[in-house]
């Protein structure tokens, strides 16, 4: 093995998983993929050769799991190509492109393609692509680290010709929470500049895999056969993922694979009809997450005026400035909580300032709302109470809370 590749594998083992899409299409007889795999020196078929598998596991993997995986890989690749057409995009940022034949497929259309991946992949991909398709002004390969904004920005610096579709297949499950946040922030910055959408099925893969296995084998795939391993970041926490996407500044929609499936799947040929239909149905339910950058007004305002209480809530990027007047009591504090919840759903909040100059009274219900805000910042930011009058300060002192807040 090339010494550089060995070192790369030690630093980031996931780039070797990038072969499966190309191997699948080459195995299905796709001419471009056979040529590309040949240029890259890959065999057409991957085999289950892990030493730690029992003969039963190998048998299951080869005859049940592998056909299911192949169908999923084929469907995901074909559907995302179809989405590029269906949504009418003329520019595609494939991040990460791995060794897929997408560049070759798109070189036969009028779409401008930016294939981006780590250097070890691009240094092999670019010459392999050129030896098959020649140089094409429409196809660019770039060495990037998706967590590094300037490398991604440099890759698409010529994308002046309209909106960009970003496609991410097989990356987000490998990232730590902080890497995930970097990637979200980088793609948001790219889309904020060029416009466009970001599609991925990354967090649907395990569910789809289970549905496909049910259709093929009547059982879920589990334990050491599960692939990829359960990822440990917010995009893969079912109760958290959608909120995380919103907090990162995106609007979110879904489109099922079934709406973009171009005809049948070659990998299902040879499977009994009923089983093939069940697999196709299971894959069809896989949803593409479609994300667009939320047009954030820098300042957003909300007002409450009720029962002698007034609140003015102004969002300035990640900061919330609240001005209160009148009585924050059992009757009025639910309104403040509702307005705060609405603001936090609209995007992340890292600082809250509450101006209390005109606040005459705060009851324990009002203090509870302040405590909720304080807790939800979770150490990510601070809540500051300003201009508190003596009466309100005394109430907070008596309750023992004045030390908790910055005031
Ligand atoms: C599972 S593969 C998926 C590749 C391709 N999209 C596909 O469907 O076959 C994961 C890819 O992510 C790339 N990768 C890993 N970390 C990366 C990073 N920080 N920036 C860019 N690419 C990265 C790997 O080199 C590898 O090609």
Does residue 183 have its Cβ closer than 6 Å to ligand 1? no
Domain final position from 266, 293, 320: 293
Per-residue b or e along 224-261, where b marks 16 or more CB atoms closer than 10 Å to that residue's CB: ebeeeeebebbbbeeeebeebbbbbbbebeebebeebb
Biggest CA–CA distance in the chain, Å, is 81
Span from the CA of 257 to the centroid of ligand 1 (angstroms): 21
Token pair of 314, please? 């102004």
Same domain assignment for residues 93 and 213 = yes
Span from the CA of 58 to the centroid of ligand 1 (angstroms): 26
Does residue 74 have its Cβ closer than 6 Å to ligand 1? no
d(CA 302, CA 314): 6
Say yes or no to pLDDT of 229 above 70.
no
Give 303's strand partners: 312
Q: How far is CA 94 from CA 100, 171, 220, 281, in A?
A: 10, 11, 31, 27
Span from the CA of 95 to the centroid of ligand 1 (angstroms): 7
Number of domains in the chain: 2
Say yes or no to pLDDT of 104 above 70.
yes
- pLDDT at residue 15 in the model: 56
Q: Which domain holds residue 172?
A: 3-293
Contact 82, 261 (CB under 8 A): yes
Span from the CA of 182 to the centroid of ligand 1 (angstroms): 15
Q: How far is CA 292 from CA 49, 238, 275, 299, in A?
A: 41, 20, 36, 20
Ligand 1 atom closest to the Cα of residue 179 is: 19
Domain final position from 275, 293, 311: 293
Span from the CA of 94 to the centroid of ligand 1 (angstroms): 10
Q: How many CB atoms lie within 10 A of CB 376?
A: 15
- pLDDT at residue 141 in the model: 97
In a domain, residue 405? The reply is: no
Contact 287, 255 (CB under 8 A): yes
Q: For position 317, which CATH number holds? A: 3.30.750.24
Say yes or no to pLDDT of 174 above 70.
yes
- pLDDT at residue 213 in the model: 87
Span from the CA of 29 to the centroid of ligand 1 (angstroms): 24
Contact 216, 68 (CB under 8 A): yes
Q: For position 255, which CATH number holds? A: 3.40.50.150
> What band does 221 get if pLDDT is binned at 50, 70 and 90?
low
Does residue 101 have its Cβ closer than 6 Å to ligand 1? no
Same domain assignment for residues 121 and 218 = yes
- pLDDT at residue 224 in the model: 45
Ligand 1 atom closest to the Cα of residue 17 is: 1
Q: Higher confidence at residue 164 or residue 401?
A: 164
Ligand 1 pocket test, candidate residues 42, 93, 118, most atoms within 8 A of CB: 118
Task: Tell me which residue has tokens 């469907």.
Answer: 75
Say yes or no to pLDDT of 239 above 80.
yes
In this structure, the dihedral spanned by the alpha carbons of residues 33, 38, 43 and 44, taken in order and rounded to 10 degrees, is 30
Q: What is the pTM of this model?
A: 0.72
Same domain assignment for residues 231 and 368 = no
d(CA 323, CA 271): 66
Stretch 250-267: mean pLDDT: 94
Span from the CA of 278 to the centroid of ligand 1 (angstroms): 30
Stretch 271-285: mean pLDDT: 94
Same domain assignment for residues 142 and 258 = yes
Domain final position from 241, 266, 293: 293
Among the listed residues 183, 231, 180, 182, the one whose alpha carbon sits nearest the alpha carbon of residue 203: 231
Give 314's strand partners: 301, 321
Q: Higher confidence at residue 298 or residue 317?
A: 317
DSSP reduced 3-state for 226:
coil
Does residue 115 have its Cβ closer than 6 Å to ligand 1? no
Does residue 96 have its Cβ closer than 6 Å to ligand 1? yes
Contact 126, 157 (CB under 8 A): no
Same domain assignment for residues 236 and 380 = no
Same domain assignment for residues 85 and 150 = yes
Same domain assignment for residues 268 and 383 = no
Ligand 1 atom closest to the Cα of residue 228 is: 1
> What band does 308 get if pLDDT is binned at 50, 70 and 90?
confident
């Amino acid at each position: 093995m090339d010494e550089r590749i060995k070192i790369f594998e030690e630093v980031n083992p996931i780039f070797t998983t990038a072969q499966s899409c190309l191997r699948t299409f080459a195995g299905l007889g796709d001419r471009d993929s056979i040529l590309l795999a040949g240029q890259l020196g890959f065999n057409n078929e991957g085999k289950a050769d892990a030493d730690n598998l029992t003969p039963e596991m190998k048998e299951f993997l080869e005859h049940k799991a592998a056909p299911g995986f192949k169908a999923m890989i084929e469907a995901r690749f074909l559907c995302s190509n179809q989405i590029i057409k269906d949504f009418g995009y003329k520019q595609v940022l494939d991040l990460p492109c791995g060794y897929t034949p997408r560049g070759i497929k798109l070189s036969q259309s009028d779409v401008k393609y930016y294939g981006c991946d780590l250097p070890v992949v691009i240094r092999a991909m670019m010459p392999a692509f050129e030896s098959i398709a020649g140089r094409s002004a429409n196809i660019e390969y770039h060495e990037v680290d998706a967590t590094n904004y300037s490398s991604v920005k440099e890759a698409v610096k010529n994308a002046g010709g309209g909106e960009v579709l970003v496609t991410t297949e097989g990356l987000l499950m490998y990232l730590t929470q902080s890497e995930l946040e970097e990637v979200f922030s980088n793609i948001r910055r790219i889309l904020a500049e060029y416009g466009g959408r970001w599609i991925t099925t990354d967090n649907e893969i395990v569910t789809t895999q289970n549905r496909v296995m049910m259709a093929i084998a009547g059982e879920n795939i589990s334990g050491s056969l599960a692939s990829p391993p359960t990822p440990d970041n917010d995009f893969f926490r079912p109760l958290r993922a959608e909120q995380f996407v919103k907090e990162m500044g995106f609007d979110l929609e879904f489109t099922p694979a079934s709406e973009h499936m171009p005809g049948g799947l070659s990998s299902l040929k040879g499977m009994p009809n009923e089983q093939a239909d069940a697999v196709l149905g299971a894959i069809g339910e896989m949803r593409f997450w479609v994300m667009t950058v939320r047009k954030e007004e820098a300042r957003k305002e909300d007002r409450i005026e009720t029962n002698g209480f007034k609140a003015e809530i102004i969002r300035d990027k990640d900061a919330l400035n609240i001005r209160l007047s009148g009585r924050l009591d059992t009757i009025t504090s639910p309104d403040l909580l509702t307005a705060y919840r609405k603001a936090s759903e609209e995007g992340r909040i890292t600082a809250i300032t509450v101006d209390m100059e005109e606040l005459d009274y705060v009851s324990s219900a009002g203090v509870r709302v302040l405590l909720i805000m304080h807790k939800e910042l979770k150490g990510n930011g601070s809540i500051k109470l300003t201009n508190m009058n003596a009466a309100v300060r005394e109430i907070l002192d008596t309750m023992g809370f004045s030390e908790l807040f910055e005031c």
